[in-house]
Structure 1
Amino acid sequence: MTTPSDQLASSTGAPSAAALRIQRLAEEPLVSAGPERGFFKGTLKSVRDLSAYRELLGLLVRRELKAKYKDSTLGFLWTLIRPLTILVVYYVAIGKFLGAERSIPDFAIYIFTGLIAWQLFLEIVSGGTGSVVGNAGLIKKVYLPREVFPLSVVGGAVFTLATQFLVLAVALVVTGSVPTGSRLLFVPLALAVLLVYGTALALVLSAVNVYLRDVQYLVEIGLTVFFWLSPIVYSWELVQTAVTNETVQQVYLANPVTAAVLAMQRGLWVGGTDASFPPDLVPRLFIMLGIGLVLLWLAQRAFARLEANFAQEI
């Protein structure tokens, strides 16, 4: 439908308002849809974009938490029921039936400490892998930094961690095994390692999953293997007894999740104060954290390279 001004412009031979708008748009410089070139410039641009959308990130975290327990009667109590159920199963099956509690003091605290660390890593990686595909509708409609989707999963996982820590704190007080002193410094260091490696994996896997949907199934298998490769339901002393080869032990300890779980136990498991832990656990964790930060940076740049075609592939 033409406006009176367009009809007048047509009768006089002058360009119409619509034609002028199209001409101005055509004269605008082209803007690349891909990531900013250069590792440093691209990283700074991504950080600025995420900072500009930090309120949206907060909204996505809240939506992630609400959607997880939508129409649920118990709501956020499920964040506690699941790990507690796993704790009871492992405590009865491995602690009682297989007799592990005879060699591991405060076996329930030992298992729950490891489960808290593992659940954080599990929720970030498994939830982050499907985060981009799960928000396909939003990605197709508006522009926003796609990193907010896996990062919203990280925020939800941290909230779940906080609620589980409350349960652990109550258990420590009830059993009279409250940790004190410098040993508590192991806890933030372990959590930092889990967050960095979990976020790096979530970024890469969420991007690759857009192009290759089999990734989410491979992740499930991989996480199962990672669980049993970490001393959560068995002790590090048992690993030393079963595997006497020093090289194999070092390969086992090269797993960041293993080192983080051991650090959590070292910091919170008072009953294992006299238990054996790797003597180089602290420097090992700092080295892993440094390597993990580099991997996180590389993961973000890989995500930025792959995100240009998300809307077309989803």
Structure 2
Amino acid sequence: MKTLSIDTRSLEIASATVDATERGATAMPVSHIQSQSAWHAFDFAEMYKYRDLFRYLVRREIKVRYAQSAIGVGWAILQPLFTMLVFTVIFGRLAKVGSDGAPYALFSFAGLVPWMFFSNAVTDGVNGLIGGASMMSKVYFPRIFMPLAANAARLIDFGVASLVMAGLMIWYGIIPNLGALALPFVLAMMFLTASGTTLWLSSFAIQYRDVKHAMGFIVQILMYAAPVVYPASLIPESFQRLYAINPMVGVIEGLRSGWLGTREMPWDFLFIGSLSAVLLFTTGVSYFNAKQRVFADLA
């Protein structure tokens, strides 16, 4: 008897469904929930869907950084400018570090502009993800937006510092060469490098807070692993390709080549560095996506 009652109920449901269809009733929408590998890359459709949120996060980063600041965007000028003065005295005058024929002040500033972007973008991205823990626990959105928005906001500082670089070049009477045409590629490589590094470190930092406390030390060590205060020509020829695995080597030397003409455009550095930057970014995205499921619990 139990089996018969179930079958009868099933027939009633099927009959009602047929009747509703014949009357032109609209079927209820059906959502399919599918599992997804943790190691997936960008979901571009989802990124496009939340594009307004990304723009909001970038604007928020910019506003928060300069809120109640007397100097405001002037910090994007003062930070590399005063660092350049210190480096010029210590490394240019006292240590007599070479500058590939360019005035050392310009040489160091050309290295500091991309390096300041990289170091500040990575630091902001790591701190931004940790600081946004409360937001992640309340509403869903692509978590990767938080570190990438911090990186994108730092492009404002890079643009301002580049204008100062242009003013210094006019002061010294230096005209960019044809290598400057490659600068968009160099800048894309710079952004990929900063974003990839941010994704790796922020994924570690939200689980191991030691990373946040060690950020200053990490950035300082990485600076001396890139040709910020010295030219890449000081590296022995046999080690230069190994040295170029660091993407910031190609970025800094490429910008100096285009802006100052210190050397021919280092295509070998750019080729090796671009491969490293793409690998760093793609693996950073994959690892970030693999860990983001537990971000709200760990934060």
Q: Determine if the TM-score, normalized by the shorter chain, exceeds 0.5.
A: yes
Q: How far did residue 104 of structure 1 move?
A: 4.2
Aligned to 1:292: 277
1:304 to 266, 272, 289: 289
- The 8 Å contact of residues 176 and 258 in structure 2, kept in 1 or not, is answered as yes
Work out whether 1:79 is the aligned partner of 2:76: yes
2:234 to 238, 245, 253: 238
Aligned to 1:264: 255
What does residue range 246-261 of structure 1 map to in structure 2 within 5 Å? 246=238, 248-261=239-252
What does residue range 78-227 of structure 1 map to in structure 2 within 5 Å? 78-100=75-97, 104-181=101-178, 183-227=179-223
Q: Secondary structure at the match of 2:235?
A: helix
* Distance across 2 between alignment mates of 1:126 and 1:136: 16
- The 8 Å contact of residues 95 and 107 in structure 1, kept in 2 or not, is answered as yes
Q: How far did residue 266 of structure 1 move?
A: 1.1
Q: Secondary structure at the match of 2:68?
A: coil
Work out whether 1:229 is the aligned partner of 2:229: no
Aligned to 1:23: none
Q: Secondary structure at the match of 2:41?
A: helix
What amino acid is aligned across from residue 306 of structure 1 in structure 2? K
Instruction: Go from structure 1 to structure 2 and tell me whether the alpha carbon gap of 1:286 and 1:249 turns closer, same or farther (over 3 Å shift).
Output: closer
5+ long unaligned stretches in structure 2: 1-29
Q: How far did residue 268 of structure 1 move?
A: 0.9
Q: Give RMSD over aligned pairs.
A: 2.5
Q: 249-258 or 132-141: which moved more?
A: 249-258
TM-score (norm 2): 0.82
* Distance across 1 between alignment mates of 2:161 and 2:99: 26
Instruction: Go from structure 1 to structure 2 and tell me whether the alpha carbon gap of 1:298 and 1:231 turns closer, same or farther (over 3 Å shift).
Output: closer
- The 8 Å contact of residues 129 and 209 in structure 1, kept in 2 or not, is answered as yes
Q: Secondary structure at the match of 1:179?
A: coil
* Distance across 2 between alignment mates of 1:92 and 1:140: 49
Q: Secondary structure at the match of 1:130?
A: helix
Give per-residue Cα distances to partners, 1:111-140, cap 9 Å, x unaligned.
111001111211222221222111112112
Aligned to 1:43: 41
- The 8 Å contact of residues 195 and 281 in structure 2, kept in 1 or not, is answered as yes
Q: How many residues align?
A: 270
Instruction: Go from structure 1 to structure 2 and tell me whether the alpha carbon gap of 1:123 and 1:37 turns closer, same or farther (over 3 Å shift).
Output: same
Q: Secondary structure at the match of 2:228?
A: coil
Instruction: Go from structure 1 to structure 2 and tell me whether the alpha carbon gap of 1:284 and 1:91 turns closer, same or farther (over 3 Å shift).
Output: closer
Quick one: percent identity of the two aligned structures? 24
- The 8 Å contact of residues 231 and 262 in structure 1, kept in 2 or not, is answered as yes
Instruction: Go from structure 1 to structure 2 and tell me whether the alpha carbon gap of 1:208 and 1:100 turns closer, same or farther (over 3 Å shift).
Output: closer
What amino acid is aligned across from residue 41 of structure 2 in structure 1? T
